[in-house]
C-alpha cells in the first residue's frame, strides 16, 4: 500500500490511540486537514443533547435538527428533551449573506468521554463539522459512541462542485434534493445546474414563457421550485450556480424564439445527442435585449455571484453560412468565429455585470479581452487550466472528473487540480479555485443517475477537500464503501436501483445468478456506448444501465489472488458459483429477450469459473493439462471483449491467476 494519510501525515497522531479504533480512523471521508485520535469514547444515550452557545439562526438550528435525526436513526435511540449537554456548538457568526468562494468553512472539533465541542467561524463551518462528527460514530454491541478525537479542518480548495445536466434527460426536484444532501455529506459546496440545451429548456421564465412552453416537453422547474432548491442547498452549505449555455447548444431556446437564431427556423427540440448547428445571432442588438431581460429575471432567482454561460462547442456553421454575419466580422475586424464569439461574450459580460453577476464558462470563452474576474471551467485538461491561470484568470478543473465516462473512482482520485509536479508559481496556483465533477445526462434517468454519481463523487470530493498527500486509492475505497452505505439515509438509489432493474430484466424475483454476473461487470465507457445511437426516447433499462460503474468484484479478486493459500478457499467457492450461475444465466438469456445479447457473458462467466478452478488445482500441486495456458488465454481474450455494452472487471486478475499457475515450477 502506498503512503497515505495513515502512514504519511498522521502517524504521530495515533500514538496512544487504541488499535481497536483504527476502523473509525479509516472511515473519515473526506479526510480532515488535521486529526488526532485519543483513547476514550463519548457514548450516545437517550440523554444526548446539543447546546448552541453563541450565534444561532434558523440555518444553524436546521442543521442541528438534521444531524440529531440522523444520529438517532444510526444509534436507534430516542433522545429525551432537556437532558444534560453532550455537544456544545459555538458559531461566531452567520457567514456571508450569500455564500461565496470566500466563505470560511473551517471548524475545530474536540470529542472526549465527557462531551464534544464544535467551534466554527460560520454556519457553513458548523455544517461541515457535524458531518465529521457523524463519521466518528460507530456501534459496538448495544452501544453507540463517538471516538475521542481532536480535529482541525478546512478545505484545500474553495470550489468543490457537482454539475448535473437535467436537459438531455429530465431530473425532477426530488432527484436534485437527495443529491444535494449527499453533496453536503461529502463537504461539497457548489451545485452547478445545467439548465438549457438543444434537448430541453428547464426553467420557467415569466417574461419569455415560450422558452419552457415550447422547449421543455412540459418538464421544467417552476420559479417557486427554483427558489425552494436554492434555499435547500443553502441550508446545507451549497451554492447554486445556474448554467444557460450560449451561443451554441441553444436549439431549445429557438423553438419558441427562432428570431434569435443565426439561421431561419423553424426549430424543434433535438432528440439526439451531440453537437448541433443552432446558435444565437451575435450581430443583432435584439438578441442582447432579449438576453438582458432573461438573465435579469434569472438573476432574481439565483443569488450566487456567478452565472455560467456555457460557451462550449459552437461549431460556427450558421455564422459562416450567414452573409450578414460574415460581413459583420469584416467590419469589426474579427479574424474568425472564435473572435466573433469573444465579441458575443464581451457584450454578454456587460449584461451580467449590470445584474451583479460574474461570468463562468467553459474553456472556449478564454480570451485576453475578458476581465480577470471571470472563471474558466476546463474540460480540456490541466494544461488549459494552467495556461489561463498563468494569465491571471481564475479556473476550475473538470477534465478527469467526468462521471459519464464511467471511469473507476481511483482514476478520478488521481486527478489533482494542482498536482505535486505543477509548474505553476504560488501566485498562479492561487487562481485555481478547485474543481467540479460532471454528470452529463445522455445515459442517465431518475432511476439510474444516483448510481452514476455516487459513491465515486466522494473520491473527487476528498481530492478537493483533503491534503494532497491523502492519495492511497486502496484506503480511499475502504472509506468510500462506508460512506456509500451512509447515503441510503438520504433516499439515494445508488445501491437499490440495481436489483429493481435486474428484477425487471429477469421477469422474476430470482435474480441471484444475474447479480453474480453484474458484480463482475462495468459499463463500457462513454465513447464506446455512444457508438450505439440513442435518443431521448430510447429506454435506458438494459443490463448496462443496471450495472454500477465501479464494481468491487475485480478489486476483491485481485486481493484474493495476491493473498496466500488461505485465500484459496474463497476463490474455490467463487469459481464454483460462477460455473453454477453461468449455466443458470445461459437459460435465462434464451428465455428473456431483454437479456439475449448477454448470452456470451453468461457463457464466459461459467468458463472463467472453470479456468479459475483449474488454476487453483495447478497451484495446489496438480499438473497443467496440455494446452491449458493457451486455452485459458484465448478464453480471457474473448472475455475482454464487451457484450451488451458491458465488460468484465475480473479479466485482469484472472490473467494474473493464470500467469501464476503457468509459471509454477514443477
Active site residues: 313
Q: Which three cell numbers stand for residue 459?
A: 473520491
**Using CA atoms, how far apart are residues 629 and 627, in angstroms rounded to an integer?**
6
Question: Is residue 366 classed as helix, strand or coil in its secondary structure?
Answer: coil
Q: Which three cell numbers stand for residue 407?
A: 471511469
The dihedrals phi and psi of 648, each to the nearest 5 degrees, come to -70, 140
Q: Hey, which residues does 240 pair with through a beta bridge? A: 191
Q: Hey, which residues does 144 pair with through a beta bridge? A: 139
Contact 182, 449 (CB under 8 A): no
Query: Which residues are within 8 A (CB) of 367 and not within 5 positions of it... i.e. 6 or more apart?
Result: 338, 342, 345
Q: Hey, which residues does 87 pair with through a beta bridge? A: 50, 116
Closest CA to 254 of 275, 273, 270: 270
Q: H-helix or E-strand containing 91?
A: strand 87-91
**Using CA atoms, how far apart are residues 608 and 285, in angstroms rounded to an integer?**
66
Question: Is residue 578 classed as helix, strand or coil in its secondary structure?
Answer: helix
Q: Hey, which residues does 194 pair with through a beta bridge? A: 165, 243
**Using CA atoms, how far apart are residues 187 and 156, in angstroms rounded to an integer?**
11
Q: Which three cell numbers stand for residue 567?
A: 485465500
Query: Which residues are within 8 A (CB) of 465 and not within 5 positions of it... i.e. 6 or more apart?
Result: 30, 31, 155, 156, 157, 160, 187
Report the C-alpha dihedral over residues 504, 167, 454, 124, rounded to 10 degrees: -140
**Using CA atoms, how far apart are residues 107 and 128, in angstroms rounded to an integer?**
7
**Using CA atoms, how far apart are residues 245 and 248, in angstroms rounded to an integer?**
7
Rg of the chain over Cα atoms, rounded to whole angstroms, equals 27
Query: Which residues are within 8 A (CB) of 219 and not within 5 positions of it... i.e. 6 or more apart?
Result: 170, 200, 202
The three-point CA angle 144-145-149 to 5° equals: 160
Q: Which three cell numbers stand for residue 439?
A: 454528470
Q: What share of the chain is helix, strand, coil (3-state, %, to 5)?
A: 45, 15, 40
Closest CA to 301 of 195, 207, 238, 224: 224
323-331 vs 337-354: helix crossing angle, rounded to 10 = 80
The string of DSSP letters for 332-356 reads TT--SHHHHHHHHHHHHHHHHHHTT
Q: How far does CA 205 lie from the centroid of its chain?
A: 29
Q: How far does CA 357 lie from the centroid of its chain?
A: 26
Question: Is residue 282 classed as helix, strand or coil in its secondary structure?
Answer: coil
Question: Is residue 393 classed as helix, strand or coil in its secondary structure?
Answer: coil
Contact 544, 448 (CB under 8 A): no
Amino acid at each position: 500500500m502506498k503512503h497515505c494519510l495513515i502512514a504519511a501525515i498522521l502517524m504521530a497522531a495515533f500514538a496512544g490511540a487504541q488499535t481497536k479504533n483504527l476502523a473509525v480512523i479509516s472511515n473519515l471521508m473526506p479526510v480532515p486537514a488535521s486529526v488526532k485520535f485519543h483513547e476514550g469514547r463519548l457514548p450516545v444515550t437517550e440523554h444526548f443533547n446539543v447546546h448552541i452557545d453563541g450565534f444561532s439562526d434558523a440555518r444553524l438550528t436546521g442543521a442541528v435538527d438534521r444531524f440529531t435525526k440522523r444520529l438517532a436513526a444510526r444509534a436507534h435511540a430516542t433522545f429525551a428533551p432537556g437532558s444534560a449537554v453532550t455537544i456544545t456548538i459555538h458559531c461566531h457568526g452567520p457567514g456571508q449573506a450569500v455564500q461565496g468562494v470566500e466563505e470560511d468553512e473551517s471548524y475545530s472539533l474536540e470529542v472526549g468521554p465527557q462531551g464534544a465541542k464544535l467551534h466554527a467561524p460560520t454556519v457553513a463551518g458548523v455544517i461541515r463539522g457535524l458531518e465529521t462528527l457523524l463519521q466518528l460514530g460507530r456501534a459496538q454491541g448495544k452501544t453507540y459512541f463517538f471516538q475521542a478525537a481532536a480535529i482541525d479542518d478546512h478545505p484545500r480548495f474553495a470550489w468543490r462542485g457537482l454539475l448535473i445536466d437535467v436537459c438531455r434527460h429530465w431530473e425532477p426536484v426530488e432527484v436534485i434534493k437527495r443529491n444535494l444532501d449527499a453533496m453536503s455529506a461529502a463537504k461539497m459546496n457548489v451545485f452547478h445546474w445545467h439548465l438549457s440545451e438543444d434537448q430541453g429548456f428547464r426553467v420557467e421564465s415569466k417574461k419569455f414563457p415560450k422558452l419552457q412552453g415550447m422547449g421543455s416537453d412540459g418538464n421544467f422547474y417552476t420559479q417557486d421550485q427554483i427558489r425552494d432548491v436554492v434555499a435547500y442547498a443553502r441550508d446545507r452549505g451549497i451554492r447554486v450556480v445556474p448554467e444557460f449555455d450560449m451561443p451554441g447548444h441553444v436549439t431549445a431556446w429557438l423553438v419558441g424564439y427562432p428570431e434569435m437564431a443565426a439561421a431561419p427556423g423553424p426549430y424543434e427540440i433535438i432528440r439526439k445527442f451531440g453537437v448541433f448547428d443552432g446558435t444565437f445571432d451575435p450581430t443583432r442588438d435584439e438578441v442582447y435585449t432579449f438576453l438582458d431581460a432573461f438573465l435579469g429575471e434569472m438573476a432574481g432567482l439565483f443569488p450566487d455571484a456567478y452565472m455560467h454561460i456555457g460557451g462550449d462547442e459552437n461549431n460556427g456553421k450558421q455564422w459562416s453560412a450567414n452573409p450578414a454575419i460574415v460581413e459583420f466580422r469584416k467590419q469589426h475586424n474579427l479574424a474568425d468565429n472564435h473572435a466573433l464569439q469573444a465579441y458575443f461574450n464581451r457584450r454578454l459580460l456587460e449584461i451580467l455585470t449590470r445584474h451583479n453577476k460574474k461570468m463562468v464558462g467553459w474553456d472556449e470563452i478564454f480570451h485576453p479581452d475578458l476581465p480577470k474576474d471571470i472563471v474558466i471551467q476546463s474540460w480540456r485538461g490541466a494544461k488549459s487550466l494552467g495556461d489561463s491561470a498563468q494569465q491571471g484568470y481564475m479556473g476550475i478543473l473538470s477534465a478527469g472528473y467526468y462521471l459519464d465516462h464511467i471511469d473507476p473512482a481511483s482514476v478520478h482520485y488521481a486527478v489533482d487540480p494542482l498536482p505535486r509536479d505543477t509548474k505553476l508559481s504560488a501566485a498562479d496556483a492561487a487562481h485555481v479555485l478547485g474543481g467540479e465533477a460532471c454528470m452529463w445526462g445522455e445515459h442517465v434517468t431518475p432511476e439510474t443517475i444516483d448510481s452514476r454519481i455516487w459513491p465515486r463523487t466522494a473520491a473527487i470530493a476528498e481530492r478537493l477537500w483533503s491534503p494532497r498527500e491523502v492519495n492511497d486509492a486502496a484506503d480511499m475505497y475502504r472509506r468510500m464503501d462506508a460512506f456509500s452505505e451512509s447515503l441510503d439515509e438520504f433516499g439515494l438509489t445508488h445501491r437499490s436501483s440495481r436489483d429493481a432493474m435486474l428484477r425487471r430484466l429477469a421477469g422474476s424475483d430470482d435474480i441471484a445468478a444475474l447479480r453474480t454476473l453484474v458484480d463482475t461487470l462495468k459499463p463500457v465507457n462513454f465513447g464506446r456506448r455512444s457508438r450505439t445511437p440513442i435518443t431521448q426516447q430510447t429506454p435506458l433499462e438494459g443490463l448496462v444501465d443496471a450495472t454500477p460503474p465501479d464494481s468491487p468484484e475485480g478489486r476483491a479478486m485481485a486481493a484474493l489472488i495476491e493473498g496466500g493459500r488461505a485465500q484459496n478457499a474463497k476463490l474455490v467457492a467463487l469459481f464454483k458459483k460462477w460455473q453454477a450461475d453461468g449455466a443458470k444465466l445461459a437459460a435465462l438469456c434464451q428465455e428473456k429477450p431483454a437479456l439475449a445479447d448477454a448470452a456470451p457473458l453468461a457463457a464466459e462467466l461459467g468458463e472463467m469459473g472453470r479456468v479459475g478452478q483449474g488454476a487453483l488445482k495447478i497451484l495446489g500441486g496438480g499438473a497443467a493439462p496440455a494446452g491449458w495456458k493457451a486455452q485459458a488465454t484465448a478464453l480471457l481474450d474473448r472475455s475482454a471483449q464487451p457484450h451488451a455494452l458491458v465488460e468484465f472487471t475480473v479479466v485482469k486478475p484472472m490473467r494474473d491467476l493464470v500467469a501464476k499457475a503457468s509459471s509454477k515450477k514443477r
